[in-house]
């Protein structure tokens, strides 16, 4: 008997992203410490799908042993030896700094371990932007792809951090060819009140967008989740806005709220949640051991599309 998740039809939103990425040049990708079946298989499947060119950074003997144990073919795959996970993270970041890779992909090391190497002030991949995470969500029954940000990096972002979080997400949406996004800054209510600080942040962020401090998207808030997603709910509340009821990027007040929202959609609505970190010199692919093949490929596809857009933008001479 099929369970509820199996009974739901799979939408084609990820399929479209993967097809678009296959039409791009596969991006050289530093895969940090792929020393379990899930992370190694994920990198190899993405390579087989034509999405990335993986360069495996980690203990060669251990990677080879995992491949042999699980019947994975490493023929033609470049490997760079590093004795342990700390060294693998540092070496992968170093190779990206040297221009060897356009993407960085998490292997079987902990996210904090990889991000420590990425955020090092001396040897990392930081830019003037704050790093932030975007869940690229395919929710069955919902017509459009949803971005949820930030649910993995910034715990309690201040106003300046939220500006970067929004700009990173807009740049990704535009960069992968999805047009001009409608951005909802979420809170518990749609009115501004000193009793809920996130409503004040939302109002300030909207004014920042009005003044050109946030560009490339339509930004509105504060909006409660129902008013952001449901045209009926927005109409009942009398909210007149190009974003309300039709939001595509959902900006959460803090990591706790974002993590719960993303996981609610994943486990109750049977959504898929691909993940990518933005704001560094290159996009960073974050995958989980619980991710399906389709989700892992979608994460790689989004990163590859964004890398291709950045490559094209860098090739255009400044006026």
Cβ neighbors of 128 (< 8 A, separation 6 or more) are none
- Count of beta carbons in the 10 Å neighbourhood of residue 211: 8
Return the closest-CA partner of residue 113 out of 148, 78, 88, 137: 88
Q: What tokens were used for 126?
A: 């930081």
Q: Are the C-beta atoms of residues 48 and 109 closer than 8 Å to each other?
A: no
Report the alpha-carbon distance of residue 275 to residue 288 in Å, rounded. Answer: 9
- Count of beta carbons in the 10 Å neighbourhood of residue 94: 16
- Count of beta carbons in the 10 Å neighbourhood of residue 290: 9
pLDDT in tens, the chain (319 residues): 334 344 444 546 899 999 999 999 999 999 999 999 999 999 999 999 999 999 999 999 999 999 999 999 999 999 999 999 999 999 999 999 999 999 999 999 999 999 999 999 889 999 999 999 999 999 998 999 999 999 999 999 999 999 999 999 999 999 999 999 999 999 999 999 999 999 999 999 999 999 999 999 999 999 999 999 999 999 999 999 999 999 999 999 999 999 999 999 999 999 999 999 999 999 999 987 778 888 999 999 999 999 999 988 877 665 5
pTM here is 0.92
Burial (CB < 10 A; 0-12, 13-18, 19+), residue 189, is middle
């Amino acid at each position: 008997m099929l369970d509820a998740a199996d009974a739901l039809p799979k939408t084609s939103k990820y399929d479209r992203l993967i097809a678009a990425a296959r039409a791009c040049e596969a991006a050289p990708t530093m895969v940090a410490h792929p020393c379990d079946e899930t992370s190694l298989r994920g990198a190899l499947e993405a390579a087989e799908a034509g999405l990335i060119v993986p360069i495996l950074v980690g203990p060669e003997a251990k990677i080879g042993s995992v491949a042999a144990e699980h019947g994975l073919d490493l023929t033609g795959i470049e490997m760079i030896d590093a004795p342990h996970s700390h060294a693998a993270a540092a070496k992968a970041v170093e190779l990206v700094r040297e221009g060897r890779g356009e993407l960085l992909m998490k292997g079987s090391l902990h996210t904090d371990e990889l991000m420590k190497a990425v955020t090092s002030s001396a040897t990392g991949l930081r830019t003037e932007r704050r790093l932030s995470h975007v869940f690229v969500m395919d929710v069955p029954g919902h017509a459009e792809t949803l971005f949820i940000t930030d649910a993995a990096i910034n715990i309690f972002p201040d106003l300046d951090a939220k500006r970067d979080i929004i700009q990173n997400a807009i740049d990704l949406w535009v960069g992968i060819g999805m047009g001009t996004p409608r951005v909802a800054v979420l809170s518990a209510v749609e009115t501004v009140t000193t009793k809920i600080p996130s409503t004040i942040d939302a109002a300030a962020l909207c004014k920042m967008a009005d003044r050109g401090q946030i560009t490339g998207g339509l930004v509105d808030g504060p909006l409660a989740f129902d008013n952001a997603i449901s045209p009926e709910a927005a109409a009942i509340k009398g909210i007149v806005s190009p974003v309300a009821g039709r939001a595509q990027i959902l900006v959460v007040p803090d990591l706790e709220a974002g993590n719960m929202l993303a996981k609610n959609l994943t486990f109750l609505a049977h959504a898929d949640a691909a993940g990518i970190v933005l704001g560094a010199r290159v996009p960073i692919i974050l995958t989980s051991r619980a991710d399906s093949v389709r989700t892992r490929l979608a994460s790689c596809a989004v990163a590859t599309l964004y890398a291709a857009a950045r490559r094209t933008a860098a090739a255009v001479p400044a006026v």
